[in-house]
Amino acid sequence: MNVKKIYGLLLAAALLGTAACGRETSGKTGSGDPSVRDSVVIAIGSEPETLDPTKGWGHGNSPIVQSTLVRYTSDLTFENDLATGYTLSDDGLTWTFTIRDDAYFTDGEKVTASDVAFTLETARAAQGSVDLTYMEQAVAEDDSTVVITLSRPTSIFLNTLASVGIVPEHAYSEDYGTHPVGSGPYRFVGWDPQEQILFTANEDYYGGAPAIRDVTVVFMSEDAALAAVMAGEVDVAYSTATLGKTEVNGYHVEALPSADNRGFTLPLLPDTGQTTESGAPIGNNVTCHLEIRQAIAYAIDRQQIADTVLHGFGRPAFSENDGMPWNNPDTRIETDVDHAGKLLADSGWADSDGDGIVEKDGVKAEFTCIYPAGDSVRQAVAMAAAEQVSAIGIRIRVEGVSWDEITRRMFSEAVVMGWGSAIPNETYYLYRSEGAFLDDFYNPEGYQSEVTDGYLDAAMGALTAEEANEYWKKVQWDGTTGTAMQGECPWIWIVNLDHVTYVRDGLSIGTQPVHGHGHGLPLIQNLKDWHWE
Q: What's the pLDDT tens digit per position in 129-158? A: 788 989 999 999 999 999 999 999 999 899
Q: Which residues of 412-440 are buried (b: 16+ CB within 10 A; e: fewer)?
A: bbbbbbbbbbbbbbbbbbbbbeebbbeee
Burial of 91 from C-beta contacts in 10 A (0-12 / 13-18 / 19+): exposed
Q: What are the strands, taking DSSP E only, across 12-171?
A: 39-44, 70-72, 78-80, 83-88, 94-99, 135-142, 145-150
The SS3 call for residue 419 is strand
Least confident of 163-167, 289-293, 439-443, 501-505: 439-443
Burial of 153 from C-beta contacts in 10 A (0-12 / 13-18 / 19+): middle
Whether pLDDT at 321 is above 50: yes
| pLDDT, position 59 | 67
Chain mean pLDDT for the chain: 90
| pLDDT, position 524 | 87
Angle separating helix axes 222-230 and 3-16, nearest 10 degrees? 60
Report yes or no: 173 and 55 within 8 Å, Cβ to Cβ: no
Residues linked to residue 316 through DSSP beta bridges, in sequence order: 495
| pLDDT, position 520 | 59
How many percent of the chain have pLDDT more than 90? 75
Ramachandran bin of 482, using left for φ above 0, alpha for ψ from -120 to 50, beta for the remaining angles = left
The CA-based diameter of the chain, rounded to the nearest angstrom, is 80
Residue of 452 and 524 predicted with greater confidence = 452
Quote the pTM value. Answer: 0.82
Q: Where are the alpha helices (DSSP H) in 174-274?
A: 222-230
Report yes or no: 130 and 56 within 8 Å, Cβ to Cβ: yes
Angle separating helix axes 376-389 and 290-299, nearest 10 degrees? 100
Alpha-carbon distance of 457 to 156, in angstroms, equals: 12
Where in the chain are all domains bearing CATH 3.10.105.10?
261-497
| pLDDT, position 525 | 85
Residue of 446 and 464 predicted with greater confidence = 446
Identify the H or E element spanning 396. strand 395-401
pLDDT interval class at 423 (50, 70, 90): confident
Where in the chain are all domains bearing CATH 3.40.190.10?
3-253+498-532
Q: Where are the alpha helices (DSSP H) in 347-505?
A: 376-389, 403-409, 425-431, 450-461, 465-476
Alpha-carbon distance of 302 to 148, in angstroms, equals: 45
Fold of 261-497: Dipeptide-binding Protein; domain 3 (3.10.105)
What CATH superfamily classification does 3-253+498-532 receive?
A: Periplasmic binding protein-like II (3.40.190.10)
| pLDDT, position 87 | 96
